[in-house]
A and B are shown apart, each in its own frame.
Chain A
Amino acid sequence: MSNNHLKRTSLYVGGSSPSKMLDARFYHEDCIVYDLEDAVAATDKDAARFLIYQAVRCHRPPNKYVLIRVNGIYSDFIAEDLQAAVRARPDAIRLPKVERACEVQQIDAAITAIEAAAGIPLGQTELWCNIESPLGATNAKEIATASPRVVAMALGAEDYTASMGAQRSKAGWEIFYGRMQVLEACRLAGISAQDAVFSDINDAEGLQEDLKMTRGLGFDGKTVVHPRQIDLVNAAFTPTTKEIRNAMKVMEALQEGARNNTGVVVVDGSMVDKPMEIRAKTILAQAKAAGIETGEWLK
């Protein structure tokens, strides 16, 4: 299910709370991230591993892309985290604070060994890399291509801002460069680009503003920390009816032009060039992924 799965929203759910883990399967997030890292106290990592393992094995949410976020690559917990997390058979492992391609390769090797031992098809477990520092951002291009397991990268804004010595703001200029580095690396590698969390869960208007920027820049989805943000984020990454209609118009005109051998195709007074065609196709692909009827234009 993982390859073409929608990744508009990924919701973090702490691995210490059975009730929150149960509730999360019913929200509308595309991806659910069971968290062993920040949401779990150091003394409770063992308990969270058992709980997440059982939850994913026994009550895996249907139709959702399932991730487990493990602890940091250099932490004392990573080895056992991977032992448990890979065996739970999630769609992906989410790695925090990735800074170098060699780290990804090291984790890749560890995962391969566990897959082999557990009888899981080799390479089945995907990786999402969280970029949370200037070094990680600088190395983003290498990280994105360090392993075929890497299918997405996400900016971790809080840690990134802290290590930049910057102040986190709603406008987000302090993470702008980091965002662009992650986004560009994802586009070059052909993987999903995931934007940073918007932390104020009570500020729906601020989130809307932030989403306008995120989607405008070209991100594919956003991490959320509270269920209340899910529907807004999903909506932002789902094309509007107007956008879909325009995209269909472009595709119709191109088809018509091809049929009649017209050199130049014009829609609403402007010439349809290659970028317009790519944009139209992207919109229709996003719409289709979100379950909206778009006709046959994607063939």
Chain B
Amino acid sequence: MIKNSLGRELPEQIGDYVVRPYQTAQGVPPSTGPVVTRRTAEHRQRGEEKLQPTLADAIRAAGLADGMTISFHHSFREGDLAVGQVLAAIRSLGIKNLRFAPSAVVNLKNFSLAEYVQDGTITSVEASGIRGELGDGIINGIITMEKPAILRPHGARPRAIEAGELQIDVAFIAASAADSYGNCTGQIGANPCGSLGYSFVDAHNAGRVIVLTDTLVPYPCCPVSISQQYVDYVVKVDEIGDPQKIGAGAARLTKNPRDLMIAEQVADVIAASRRFEEGFSFQTGAGAISIACTKFLADRMKTRGVTASFALGGITAAIIEMYDAGQIRAVECSQSFDAVAANAIASRSGVVEIDNADYSNAYSKGGFLNHLDFGVLGALEVDTDFNVNILTGSSGQMMGGLGGGPDVAAGAAISIVALPIVRGRTPSIVRHVFTCCTPGETVACVVTQAGIALNPRHLRYEELKQDLRNAGLPLVAIEELQQLAQSITGVPQPIATTEKVVAIVEYRDGTVVDVIRQIKNNAE
């Protein structure tokens, strides 16, 4: 066993995975060599067709074989219909032992992903999170996999691909419109999902690229997100996804007074900062508190007479509304969180689709995060060291995904984690998070309905403390919040785990922040 700098105990090696323990948020230096890619030069001739009659034909043509790696985007979230169709086709071809590496595994209900693991079609998973039946099955030991899942934040996935740690053999890209030569987009068609931000790195680096679409348009497709030069095959399917389900639950404006109160305090923190000035930038995200916070922020901006230079990341209708009101100059959209945001790229010149790597990858020649002032993040748990858990629930379920949380916390000048102090009987401010996802040193501030706590170990602690004091915002110590939460809920029993590591949580640089061990079933 070794301990990383966050005090998490890690095995030195898990199977053939050699653990590099997390050291600092700065990250380990990149390799100085050229980036790794599986993309090959081709020489397509005039008249050669890319359109394949069925998915199975495309998969066969791409040469998918046992033991290879396949990838998908999760831009349709729970409305996705592409992953199920592709896996069914793969199974019909008898291909086994695949590494499944989508940008995230969301809770897909239209088919059972777990069955593909149980029948050996998929034998390992790498994603930003594994929600639903598969994730719960893995953590509880109901579904066993030979290799632990590797969970990476959004920024770490492109890094891992370009470092050669995650090499994709065949990338499947569901696009809401495509021409038969592979030019495609998520912005138009019958079922637009908006930004295809996650797919750029796959298109640029996979060995073979297959585009699935339900809307085949005349050549050339316009607008275009992923261009023909990266695409090997195109397949027309009946339906790739339901855009109405992208924001199911998440994208509605909450009326819960508790969440509104927390959101308003987040806006207060932002407005109190010296960085809240003309041309500032922010990212708020898609949770109930985040969307409410966006609304309050819009009000504060109006009152103060400032506009933002850009809003970043996952974009919601609330952000588009601000853009339309002239409050934001550019909306940099790596993911569209609802139907309004999905349609906004095609109709507004300042709402632009960006590569997820441009948003979140720390190992490039510089991206948006290096210019971001405020990042607002949700969390399941925060501990008194400000470490954040966004993956595992208190009763040992896979509740969320890493998303861009660790990236935004490290990148933004001021990172704010907003959450209620308790949820039901579950305390959210705890002594030690069950799974550490975002290192505490990157979290500037925690906002709950019971008060605002600043992190003394954050780089901009003095600055923020001064600004909040000047604005008359009351501050509490994180320990006080933890004790208050505990006095309400009582002391929870620690969750018992076995020694078996079922998932590895990587940081932006590929070091290991934590591992998730299998939950002991206490029924027996």
Contact = CB atoms under 8 A, between A and B. Distances in A.
Interface string B444-469: 00000110000000000000000000
Contacts of B421: 26
Contacts of B488: 22, 59
A57 interface: no
Contacts of A228: 257, 260
15 contacts: A19-B424, A22-B422, A23-B257, A23-B258, A23-B449, A26-B258, A26-B261, A27-B257, A27-B261, A27-B449, A59-B488, A226-B257, A227-B257, A227-B261, A228-B260
A286 to B, nearest CB: 18
Interface string A225-249: 0111000000000000000000000
Contacts of A227: 257, 261
A288 B20 CA distance: 58
A59 B424 CA distance: 14
A26 B484 CA distance: 11
A226 B260 CA distance: 12
5 closest pairs, A vs B, by CB?
Answer: A227-B257, A26-B449, A23-B258, A26-B450, A228-B257
A227 B260 CA distance: 10
Interface in A4-60: 19, 22-23, 26-27, 59
B426 to A, nearest CB: 12
B490 to A, nearest CB: 11
A227 B488 CA distance: 21
Nearest to B255: A228
B422 to A, nearest CB: 8
B177 to A, nearest CB: 41
Nearest to B487: A59
A180 B260 CA distance: 35
Nearest to B259: A23
Interface in B406-441: 421-422, 424
A23 B449 CA distance: 9
A227 B256 CA distance: 10
Contacts of B258: 23, 26
Interface string A67-109: 0000000000000000000000000000000000000000000
Contacts of B422: 22
Contacts of A226: 257
Contacts of B424: 19
A182 B488 CA distance: 39
Interface centre among B257, B260, B488 (most CB of A within 10 A): B257
A22 B256 CA distance: 13
Interface centre among A19, A26, A227 (most CB of B within 10 A): A26
Interface string A150-166: 00000000000000000
Contacts of A23: 257-258, 449
Nearest to A228: B257
Interface of A: 19, 22-23, 26-27, 59, 226-228
Contacts of A26: 258, 261, 421, 449-450
A27 B421 CA distance: 13
Contacts of A59: 488
A292 to B, nearest CB: 10
A124 B260 CA distance: 36
B449 to A, nearest CB: 4
A26 B424 CA distance: 15
A239 to B, nearest CB: 16
Contacts of A27: 257, 261, 449
A241 B260 CA distance: 27
A227 to B, nearest CB: 4
Interface in B481-504: 488
B190 to A, nearest CB: 37
Nearest to A28: B261
A227 B254 CA distance: 14
A226 B421 CA distance: 21
Contacts of B449: 23, 26-27
Contacts of B257: 23, 27, 226-228
A61 B187 CA distance: 51
Interface centre among B260, B261, B421 (most CB of A within 10 A): B261
Contacts of A19: 424
A227 B449 CA distance: 13
B452 to A, nearest CB: 13
Interface in B183-222: none
A227 B262 CA distance: 13
B446 to A, nearest CB: 15
Interface in B246-267: 257-258, 260-261
A289 to B, nearest CB: 17
Nearest to A59: B488
Nearest to B257: A227
Given A23-B258, A26-B261, A227-B257, 4 more contacts: A26-B258, A26-B421, A59-B488, A228-B257
Contacts of B261: 26-27, 227
A21 B303 CA distance: 34
A26 B265 CA distance: 13
A152 to B, nearest CB: 25
A259 B407 CA distance: 66
A161 to B, nearest CB: 27
A59 B488 CA distance: 7
A22 B424 CA distance: 9
A213 B220 CA distance: 66
Interface in B225-274: 257-258, 260-261
A82 B421 CA distance: 33
A32 to B, nearest CB: 14
A228 B292 CA distance: 13
Nearest to B450: A26
Interface centre among A22, A59, A226 (most CB of B within 10 A): A22
B428 to A, nearest CB: 13
A26 B258 CA distance: 8
A228 B449 CA distance: 14
B196 to A, nearest CB: 39
A247 B421 CA distance: 40
A118 B257 CA distance: 37
A59 B490 CA distance: 12
A101 to B, nearest CB: 38
Interface string B486-524: 001000000000000000000000000000000000000
A251 B266 CA distance: 39
A22 B449 CA distance: 12
B413 to A, nearest CB: 28
Nearest to A62: B484
A19 to B, nearest CB: 8
A28 to B, nearest CB: 9
Nearest to A226: B257
Nearest to B262: A26
Interface centre among A23, A27, A226 (most CB of B within 10 A): A23
B126 to A, nearest CB: 38
A22 B425 CA distance: 11
Contacts of B260: 228
A26 to B, nearest CB: 4
Interface string B378-394: 00000000000000000
A19 B411 CA distance: 36
